[in-house]
Amino acid sequence: MDTQISPEVNTSNEPKTWSQRFESALHPAIARFNASISFDIELIEYDITGSIAHAKMLAHTGIISPAEGEQLVAGLEQIRQEYRQGQFKPGVDAEDVHFAVERRLTEIAGDVGKKLHTARSRNDQVGTDTRLYLRDQIQQIRSQLREFQAVLLDLATGHVETLIPGYTHLQRAQPVSLAHHLLAYFEMLQRDWERLGEVYGRVNISPLGCGALAGTTFPIDRHFTSQLLGFEQPYANSLDGVSDRDFAIEFLNAASLIMVHLSRMSEEIILWSSQEFGFVKLKDSCATGSSIMPQKKNPDVPELVRGKTGRVFGHLQGMLVLLKGLPLAYNKDLQEDKEALFDSVKTVKACLEATTILLREGLEFRTTRLAEAVAEDFSNATDVADYLAAKGVPFREAYNLVGKVVRTCLEAGKLLKDLSLEDWKDLHPAIDADIYAAISPKQVVAARNSYGGTGFEQVRQALVAARSRLA
């Protein structure tokens, strides 16, 4: 199977990819350049599954005999087993996985094998294989998203009343429940899960039977093969069927958004694990050390996820550029969609797996440090303004008053909690002793009990609602 293609005239009895129109074989370098077998072998099981459906349809419609159909199916299943056992390893001379399977089928079944390609082109064949592959991968990624969401929920459940500084502009803003913070990522992943479900619907359309571009003269039954393969329906237009890669772009967009969310979380974990923040401790199972600095523990997992995000973005951009100028229908350019899809799928799955493990067993939140962090800043300033507004002071006036007292505190090296009641009354006579309870971190968080807020009761309700989505 790995023999080199000769630049001389091909006089062998080996089946040729092309018709007798061609007098000589491809130059070896061009053959290698043209071949996709090195990567589209990834599609072999899907190619076999699609070919089995096609063979059954040919027999069903009387284009071939039932016995021939059975021979083809048996031969294709034999190739599947050979591949699984590591016995089927086509080389560059096969050009692509589709021809490799057909050639091996002919070796097994004889001339009957040559009938498999009746009423089919590689254009609709590769489109079918790619959709079968992506359909399967989408389901796997959605399962991974659900697993990650479950880990987030478990982690959040144990940290409802653990407080963490909330930031805007990377500046301390207001304290929030750590569970609330984690649930924000749960919601992002929920959209990812839903988005992939929507993409699945547009992947799940069968191009099989579209032929090269115009359909076929044979009395095929496209609905029959569509049903056999579990597609929702066949493409309504043969030109569209063989040239459509919208579904691939949509998947890459959905994959890119998954990576955006993973990268945002990774960036936070990287910051939180630094000495400057000290919010999380990385465990040995998910971190490495320095080759020269023995004291260091590096956040390799989130750094790699952050880095691999650009890789998936690149595939999306590449696919958009690939398609923007292609005339109908099939062009060889479309061969370039495979590696982008395959690599993006593998990257997303690997990053989801690694991040899930990291959150499940690779880090722990340093609750003492978190408690210190929420008590050492002015993130309760808004609550002083709210306190005054509740006493009848116009909010903008209250806002300006609090800004003034914060400045005074900064100059004096104090926090709001360090001010005496006399200091507070100097700010505004409406302030009373209950100000201290109002600006305590726990109360600041608990008081934000509006729907979707960080108040503990809201967070507990959000956890229940989130679990119901996973049920």
Please report where in the chains the tokens 């076999």 appear, as a residue: 48
292 or 126, greater pLDDT: 126
421's tokens: 């009641």
| Domain 28-118: CATH superfamily, name plus number | Fumarase/aspartase (N-terminal domain) (1.10.275.10)
| Amino acid at site 17 | T
Q: Give the model's pLDDT for residue 377.
A: 85
Nearest to 258 by CA among 191, 318, 208: 191
2 has pLDDT over 50: no
pLDDT one-digit tens code per residue, 250-267: 999 999 999 999 999 999
Smallest CA-to-CA distance from 82 within 99, 59, 100, 57 is with 100
Average pLDDT, the chain: 92
pLDDT digits (tens, 9 = 90+) for 321-377: 999 999 999 999 999 999 999 999 999 999 999 999 999 999 999 999 999 999 988
Residue 7: pLDDT over 50: no
Q: Which CATH number fits domain 376-455: 3.30.450.40, 3.30.70.150, 1.10.40.30, 3.90.580.10?
A: 1.10.40.30
Question: Can you give the residue ranges of every domain in the chain?
Answer: 28-118, 123-159+177-369, 376-455
Confidence of residue 286 (pLDDT cuts 50, 70, 90): confident
pLDDT at position 292 over 80? no
Q: Mean pLDDT lowest for which of 36-50, 95-109, 395-409?
A: 395-409
Residue 26 has pLDDT above 90, yes or no: no
Out of 3.90.1150.10, 1.20.210.10, 2.40.170.20, 1.20.200.10, select the CATH number for domain 123-159+177-369: 1.20.200.10
Catalytic residues: 169, 290
Per-residue pLDDT, 94: 87
> What per-residue confidence (pLDDT) applies to 13?
44
How many Cα neighbours within 13 Å face the side chain of 245?
A: 29
- State pTM to two decimals: 0.91
- Residue 23, pLDDT > 70, answer no
Over residues 168-187, the mean pLDDT reads 96
* Residue 5 predicted with pLDDT over 90: no
